[in-house]
Amino acid sequence: MTLKYLMDENVDPVYAAQLRRREPDLRIRVVGEPDIPARGTLDPEILVWCEEYGFILVTNNRTSMPVHLAAHIGLGRQVPGIFILNPDLSIGRNIDELILIAKGSFEGDYQNQIIHLPLTKSRDD
């Protein structure tokens, strides 16, 4: 798997725990961990870190993240992507989506994009 995920500090910690348990080869980092931006780091700084280290940001931030991404790109910068979790899906379904995306995507597929989960449809949708 080539994608790497940085979990925003406001994402339930169960996401990182379950992703690490289910897909140990998937690189998962969480804001606040050692050598990762500290909790409370501003979103524009998180995007710079994601750009420098090649991580896709996974967040719940639906309102200000598009503004931050536009400003980031306006500065001539890039970001590997931003995935916004769907509050109407179960945690398990969001995790399934993240795993499916990681297994079926290549680095650069989501560059400078905000992707709202889910990408796939289930029989229940």
Average pLDDT over residues 58-75: 95
Quote the tokens at residue 28.
């998962």
Question: Is the pLDDT score of 2 beyond 90?
Answer: no
pLDDT of residue 122: 60
Per-residue confidence at 119, pLDDT binned at 50, 70, 90?
confident
- The C-alpha atoms of residue 78 and residue 91 are separated, in whole angstroms, by 29
Dihedral (CA of 7, 10, 14, 17) sign: positive
**Global pTM value:** 0.94
* DSSP H or E run through 115: strand 114-116
Per-residue confidence at 124, pLDDT binned at 50, 70, 90?
low
- Give the position of tokens 């400003």: 71
pLDDT of residue 120: 72
Distance of CA 101 to CAs 2, 42, 48, 74, 76, Å?
A: 10, 26, 23, 27, 27
Helix, strand, coil % in the chain, rounded to nearest 5: 35, 15, 50
Quote the tokens at residue 47.
């995007």
pLDDT mean across residues, the chain: 94
> Tell me: the pLDDT tens digits for 16-33?
999 999 999 999 999 999
Tell me the percentage of the chain whose pLDDT exceeds 70: 95
- Preceding amide of 118 cis, omega within 30: yes
